[in-house]
C-alpha cells in the first residue's frame, strides 16, 4: 500500500501575509494520514520553512536549474534548495514546458540535478487537448517519461511522477477517474520495465483537483495522491483534499 502524497503548487501566487494565513490554516487543520507538501515561490521558501516548523508538512520549490552552479543569472540550483531544506521540487510542469520551451531532456537533467542533492523531483508529464484528440496521449506521456528514465538510470525509482493533462490544468475540466487511471497504469507499466521500485513509486494526478472530486480520483488503483494548483491556495480547500487522501 503506497502512502498518499498531496502537493500544493502555489505557482506565482502569494504574499507574506497571505502565505502566513494559509500556512496557519493548514497547521490548524492537519495532520492528516497522508504525506503533504507545499511547493512555493522561491522568495517565500525560507519563511515557509519557519512557519512549518514542528508540523509534518514539508516544503519544496517549483523549478530548479539543471546546472550545478555558476554564471546562470536568475537560476536556482538544487544544491541551494537542499541547503534550505526543500524535500521536493516540481520539474517539467506544463507551464514551464510551454512558456519556457523546456524540452524533455532539460526536464530530465533538472530531475537528475535534484536527485544528486537529495531533493525529490516531482516530474510532470501530460498531453495537450489536441494531442488527446489525436489519440496521442499514451505516446506523449511515454516519451516525456522515457527521457527521465533514460537520464536517471537506476535512480529513476526515487522520483515522484505527476500526470497532469494540460487541458485539465486550471480549466475546471478534470480527467475522469477512469481516464486518469488508464494513463497512470501506462506510466506504472513503463516504470515497472525500468525499476524494481515501480510498486512503491508514487504517481500523482493533477488538473483541477477539488475537494469534491479528490476522493474518487484517489481511490483509483494507480493514483497515489495529487498535485494541486488553484485549490492549494485556500486552507479549507487544500485540507479537504488532504483529508480525502487520508481515507
Ligand atoms: C497545477 O498547476 O499543477 C495544477 C494541477 O493546477 P490546477 O489544480 O489549478 O488545475
Q: What is the CATH number of the domain that holds 56?
A: 3.20.20.70
Q: What is the pLDDT of residue 206?
A: 97
Which residue's CA is the closest to the ligand 1 atom numbered 2?
A: 229
- What DSSP line would sit under the chain, residue for residue? -PPPEEEEE-TT---HHHHHHHHHHHHHH---SSEEEEE--GGGHHHHHHHTTTSS-EEEES---SSSSSS-TT---HHHHHHTT--EEEES-HHHHHHS---HHHHHHHHHHHHHTTPEEEEEE---HHHHHTT-HHHHHHHHHHHHHHHHGGGGGG-EEEE--GGGTTTS----HHHHHHHHHHHHHHHHTT-TTTTT--EEEESS--HHHHHHHHTSTT--EEEESGGGGSHHHHHHHHHHHT-
Q: How many domains does the chain have?
A: 1
Looking at ligand 1, which atom is closest to the CA of residue 226? 5
Q: What is the pLDDT of residue 1?
A: 76
CA of 157 to the centre of ligand 1 (A): 24
Q: What is the pLDDT of residue 48?
A: 98
Q: Is the CB of 170 under 6 A from ligand 1?
A: yes
CA of 166 to the centre of ligand 1 (A): 9
Which of 5, 7, 10, 11 for a ligand 1 pocket mutation test, highest count of atoms within 8 Å of Cβ? 11
- First-to-final CA distance of the chain: 13
CA of 38 to the centre of ligand 1 (A): 13
User: Would you name the residues annotated as active-site residues?
Assistant: 93, 164
Give the Cα separation of 91 and 61 in Å (integer): 9
Q: In angstroms, what CA-CA distances link 143 with 91, 150, 174, 190, 242?
A: 16, 11, 22, 10, 31
Rg (CA), the chain: 17
For residue 122, the cross-strand partners are: 90, 160
> pLDDT tens string for the chain (247 positions)?
799 999 999 999 999 999 999 999 999 999 999 999 999 999 999 999 999 999 999 999 999 999 999 999 999 999 999 999 999 999 999 999 999 999 999 999 999 999 999 999 999 999 999 999 999 999 999 999 999 999 999 999 999 999 999 999 988 888 899 999 999 999 999 999 999 999 999 999 999 999 999 999 999 999 999 999 999 999 999 999 999 999 7
Q: Give residue for cell 505516446.
A: 139
Per-residue burial over 147-156, b = 16 or more CB atoms within 10 Å of its CB, e = otherwise: bbbebbeeeb
Give the Cα separation of 207 and 227 in Å (integer): 8
Which residue's CA is the closest to the ligand 1 atom numbered 6?
A: 229
Amino acid at each position: 500500500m503506497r502512502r498518499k502524497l498531496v502537493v500544493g503548487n502555489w505557482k506565482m501566487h502569494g504574499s507574506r501575509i497571505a502565505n502566513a494565513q494559509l500556512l496557519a490554516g493548514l497547521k490548524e487543520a492537519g495532520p492528516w494520514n497522508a504525506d503533504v507538501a507545499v511547493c512555493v515561490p522561491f522568495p517565500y521558501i525560507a519563511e515557509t520553512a519557519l512557519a512549518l516548523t514542528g508540523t509534518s508538512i514539508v516544503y519544496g520549490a517549483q523549478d530548479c536549474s539543471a546546472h550545478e552552479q555558476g554564471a546562470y543569472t536568475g537560476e536556482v540550483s538544487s544544491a541551494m534548495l537542499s541547503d534550505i531544506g526543500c524535500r521536493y521540487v516540481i520539474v517539467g510542469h506544463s507551464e514551464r514546458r510551454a512558456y519556457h520551451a523546456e524540452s524533455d531532456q532539460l526536464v530530465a537533467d533538472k530531475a537528475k540535478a535534484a536527485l544528486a542533492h537529495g531533493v525529490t523531483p516531482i516530474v510532470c508529464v501530460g498531453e495537450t487537448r489536441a494531442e488527446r484528440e489525436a489519440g496521442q496521449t499514451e505516446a506523449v506521456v511515454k516519451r516525456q517519461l522515457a527521457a527521465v528514465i533514460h537520464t536517471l538510470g537506476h535512480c529513476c525509482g526515487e522520483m515522484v511522477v505527476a500526470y497532469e493533462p494540460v487541458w485539465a490544468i486550471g480549466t475546471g475540466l478534470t480527467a475522469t477517474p477512469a481516464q486518469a487511471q488508464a494513463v497512470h497504469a501506462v506510466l506504472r507499466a513503463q516504470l515497472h520495465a525500468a525499476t524494481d521500485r515501480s510498486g512503491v513509486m508514487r504517481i500523482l494526478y493533477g488538473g483541477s483537483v477539488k475537494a469534491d472530486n479528490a476522493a474518487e480520483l484517489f481511490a483509483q488503483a494507480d493514483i497515489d495522491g495529487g498535485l494541486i494548483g488553484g485549490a492549494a491556495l485556500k486552507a479549507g480547500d487544500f485540507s479537504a483534499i488532504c483529508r480525502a487522501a487520508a481515507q
